[in-house]
Amino acid sequence: DAGVTQSPTHLIKTRGQQVTLRCSPISGHKSVSWYQQVLGQGPQFIFQYYEKEERGRGNFPDRFSARQFPNYSSELNVNALLLGDSALYLCASRLRDSGSLLAGGGTQYFGPGTRLLVL
């Protein structure tokens, strides 16, 4: 089975532009999350979607938005790009939303990421 796929792999934009990043989860996975990883840091949570509904949002400005489609793929949009938005954007999928974390649920499967450079 294919893993999580993301497109494009690399992207260069200028300040003020808008960007759309795409993610396809593992077949059968209904939950998609987005993370931003700035160079030298760990990933930071941006959004979580399950069954096309937003289930969580991290501490990011309203310039960041996302959506999930009926086929469970997802898009992350960033408007009015800033230099500080330069980062690796990671998408992760998970089998289901419910289920006990204590029982071991919550493993996420990450895609290769989209590296965004804002000039």
Residues that bind other proteins (CB under 8 A): 4, 31, 33, 35, 39-45, 48, 50, 55-56, 58-59, 88, 90, 92, 94, 97, 100-113, 115
Q: In the chain, count H helices and then E strands.
A: 0, 11
For other proteins, give the closer residue by CB, 40 or 70. Answer: 40
From the CB of 74, what's the least distance to other proteins, in Å?
Answer: 15
Dihedral-angle region of residue 12 (phi above 0 means left; psi in -120 to 50 means alpha; beta otherwise) = beta
The residue among 51 and 83 lying less far from other proteins, judged by its C-beta, is: 51
**Closest CB to other proteins among 58 and 75?**
58
Cβ at position 115, least distance to other proteins in Å: 8
Which residues touch 16 (CB under 8 Å, ≥6 apart)?
80, 81
Kindly state the tokens that stand for 64: 């960041």
Q: Report the candidate in 95, 48, 56 with the shortest Cα–Cα distance to residue 74.
A: 48
Q: Which is nearer to other proteins, 70 or 104 (CB)?
A: 104
